[in-house]
Amino acid sequence: MSTLITYRREIGQDFGFTQFESAAATQVYAACSREAQRLVLEGATPARVDNIFRALGMHTGILAMLDRIGLDMRWPAYAACHARIVQDPSYWRLADELEAMGYLGCKNGRGFYRYQDRERLEDYEVVAIAELLAAELQIFRRPISEREIYDRALFTLLNVGIHLLDEGTQQEASSLTSTWLSTGNALTHPAEHSGLNAILDGLQRYRKRLGEYGDTWFRPAPLLEHLAASHNQSDAK
């Protein structure tokens, strides 16, 4: 856990994913993109989702970033998690649908947002498209609170970051040059504030609440479960 904290302290910047050659960056990017699009399918708007990602340290927001890159682009991490994508029919479906309709992002003025004279505007046609897709995918749409958007964005970031540590994708904090894997007070002093258990509990809560989607994407990283158990055993002594 201290390694995650070190990452944040050494980086201290926007996780803008400007270096796509980084395996860690592409996997975090893919996870954030997936969760942001799913939140829109479930009832949030792109602007509300992006506001939360900005609060977590991203300069523009993940969906606005997708527009800047281009919705016709795909990244290595998209294929890297193929086994779980097969289990999730909603994966990247909103971006795919927008691309099929000719919405390519900033390059042609329509994506998750409309663009007019360099101004980014909300596009309620995108919300309507999300509603139709949700009905097709049998995703229940509902009001989604700011807290839920924040939790799901944060837990997604943390869980994929811990997965990367567990897999040995990143050996040194200095090698993760464009990814901010931890944020918020829950990880500032994990031992004092039970940050490990809070993250684990949050992941398990959404894993249960979100059904098959939750079981696919909110399953805690084995390293997180191990660290939390070790921490609890240490406290019990």
Q: Looking at residue 162, what is its pLDDT?
A: 83
Q: Looking at residue 5, what is its pLDDT?
A: 38
Q: Looking at residue 234, what is its pLDDT?
A: 60
pLDDT band at 83 (very low <50, low <70, confident <90, very high): low
Domains parsed from the chain with CATH numbers:
20-137 (1.10.1040.10), 146-236 (no CATH)
Portion of the chain with pLDDT greater than 90, in percent: 49
pLDDT exceeds 80 at position 105:
yes
**Per-residue pLDDT tens digits for 170-202:** 443 334 333 443 333 333 333 333 478 888 999
Instruction: Read off the pLDDT of each residue in 100-129 and give the average, rounded to a whole number.
Output: 95
Start-end of H helices in 112-221: 124-137, 146-167, 190-193, 195-209, 211-217
Q: Are strands 119-122 and 113-116 parallel, antiparallel or unpaired?
A: antiparallel
Which of 65, 28, 5 shows the shortest CA–CA distance to 156? 28
- H-helix or E-strand containing 116? strand 113-116
Instruction: Read off the pLDDT of each residue in 57-78 and give the average, rounded to a whole number.
Output: 82
Q: Looking at residue 133, what is its pLDDT?
A: 98
CA 95 – CA 111 distance, rounded (Å): 8
pLDDT band at 143 (very low <50, low <70, confident <90, very high): very high
CA 59 – CA 76 distance, rounded (Å): 23
CA 124 – CA 76 distance, rounded (Å): 31
pLDDT exceeds 70 at position 12:
no
User: Could you identify the residue written with the tokens 């996997």?
Assistant: 27
pLDDT band at 236 (very low <50, low <70, confident <90, very high): low
Which of 101, 108, 29, 38 shows the shortest CA–CA distance to 67? 108
Instruction: Read off the pLDDT of each residue in 196-225 and give the average, rounded to a whole number.
Output: 92
Please give the mean pLDDT across all residues of the chain: 78
Of residues 91 and 165, more confidence is placed in: 91
